[in-house]
Structure 1
Amino acid sequence: MKRAKAALLAATLAALTLAPAQQATAAPRLSISSSEGGARASTDGPTTFQVTGSGFQALPNAFGGIYVMFGWVSDPAGGSWKPSRGGRTGAELLYVPDSESKGNQGYQRFISFPGSSTGDSANGGTVSEDGTLAFNLTVPGPRFTAQDRSGNSKEIDCLQVQCGIITVGAHGVVNAANESFTPISFGSGNTSESDVGQAQTQRSVSGQSASSQSTAAQPAAAAASPSASGSPAPEVPATLGLSQATVQAGRVLGFTGQGFDAGEQVVATVGAGLAGVGPLTAGRFGEVAGAITLPVDMRAGSHTVTLTAAGSGRVAEATLSVLADPATASAGAAQVEQTHDGWRVATIAVGGAAAVLLLLVISSLVTAIVRRGRAKRSGKVRVARPGAAR
């Protein structure tokens, strides 16, 4: 018994010794700078920030990526705003609205994973395999209008509440490894990148930061929730982005949509129901994404791709150019040529049969004429010699 226990203990120690240690994943971190100085924005108008990041998770060939937005979160220190912890857009997270197109106003960026099928729609580049990224982001000013989950507008005053740059998983894919909040200040001051980096390090280690402490010193009501104007929210147009503007029939078309209500059902169609997919469920930020396989025999030319939401009734459209499938076109040409060959063979056969029939008719006529001539000559002989039989 003692030997067995000793052997078991030795095996356990050996397993613990040989087991590889798991590497600690670095928390995502942004370093930002502007013409106003470090993490500071102007109170008089838009400010463009040069942003670099490290510690982000890059998933090669995976769907989606990272959304980057300027906005407000309810709990910048504790992180309860994060989608991976139940945070919801329009409630614990509000941001400046912007279009999904590459040429948007710069308030939002989409950074794709390396080799992702959604890479064509990225307007903030690609996450490097080492977890680094770089892009520019525009902050419109200290005040902006967002929407809550009931569709009402909320006026966010970043001079009263803490605002900053938010990163979350894109296209409805929740990814805790890519969630971060980097605070931004407004007005004159000497805030530097090192100050921001120190605040982020403190937050990642202990959940505290200098920015969060200054926020806590503000009135609780202002820090907990921005003021709502109570006026109806402006209509947010739905947008549709295609993975490519021209695609060959029979191939797969990727698409992304934005501007829908979170959780509503969205259907994607091509042309008058030639192809489609859905219903798709809009993500926390009102986004959808999917892929449609185009028919092999789809007519070449322009077709309309449409996203239709069941709840809000919003519709987004984009024009797609379809090229004929070369294999199908070759098969069609071969079939036509084969048909032509068949007609030629049939024509030759019919012509040959007609010629043979004509020869038979002519031969029969000639034979009949010859026989009739012989019969006449034979009858004349018999009449001329009636007594020969005697």
Structure 2
Amino acid sequence: MTIQATATPRRTVRRVRTAAAVLLALGAALLAPATAAHAAAGVSVTSSLGDGRVDAEYATSITVTGSGFQSVQGGFGGIYVLFGWVDQSGWKPSEGGVVGDDYLYIPDSEAKDNQGYQRFVSFPGSETEASAQAVIDASGSWSVQMTVPGPQFQALDRSGNATTVDCLSVQCGVITFGAHGVKNAANETFTPVEFVVPEAGAEAPATGAATGSDASAASGDAADSADAAAGATVQDAVAIGDLRLGMSTATLTAGDVLSFTARGFAAGEQVVASLDGGVSAVGPLAAGSAGEVAGVLQLPADLAAGTHLVTVTGAATEGVVEAEITVAANAVAGAAAATESGAPAWVITVMLVAVALAAVLVVANIVTAIVRAARTRRARTEVAA
């Protein structure tokens, strides 16, 4: 009688490979829906002038609503909602886009009660949720109120210099991307808006105001006078004193808030402050009657340890004052950001358990195959004898 001693181990190895493949496929199937469960992110902008429209002359209050965004329960950060301009050819931070080169926005404080130019929408249960103006719900939806100051605004270029953006010449709109330095391609969007001049008579004239052609002429004269006055203010702005910059502390940890004060600017001058030429920024802030200004800068949670430069710039006088700060790395925030960029913790746990079970089954089946092979050899020897 002939016994095929090698048949059983081969069949066993095939079964082991099949079981391992099934378990790994199951883990991959669990992972795939978790990272792609959200629909494509989208944003709508509405105002009293209509959908996607803002005033071409004055400040406009807008309602910004998002849907289909990725919502990570307990994840670090969330999204920033900003108003500005983007280079459509590749502005997204996840694709290498850099502030000052590929996109510009109106700087503002990251405080909850800021001027309304910038909004922070937190992940649900995030450690930074208390400082957010809104929270992304489980379906990926959120809504915030913002302010568009007008068609022109000042931003900071890569060198930290103030630059003027004219939204009547370039396309501006609402920008969203990952907050606190976390790059998240799923939550990066740009929604263009249109600057329009409200129709005549949209607002009732003030008591005693002229009407008809007289009103039009008066309106034109007033606008010309305002433009002339504005030009004179910028042109004739004179610094009140020597520029000085003071900070609450010169040693911080990444993710901290830096409070600062500056003096010497022209009264009423627009001032912007930046960290390392635009890594973080706040403004425009209006200088007081004595040329003083105060604000806060939010340090990114993933800011590298070392020495960093704080720059405060005046728009009219072009005065610049700088100071250095020392920043320590935030290890906790870095780990949280790494977790957010991957799958949720429970999915990773399931994957690890699946792989561990597959490894156990492989070892068990190999041992079984060896034992069966030994028994087969003994049986063949006994038959031969």
Could you tell me the TM-score, scaled by structure 2's length?
Answer: 0.48
Could you tell me the TM-score, scaled by structure 1's length?
Answer: 0.47
Specify the structure having the higher radius of gyration (Cα). 1
Q: Which has the higher contact order (CA 8 A, sep 6+)?
A: 2
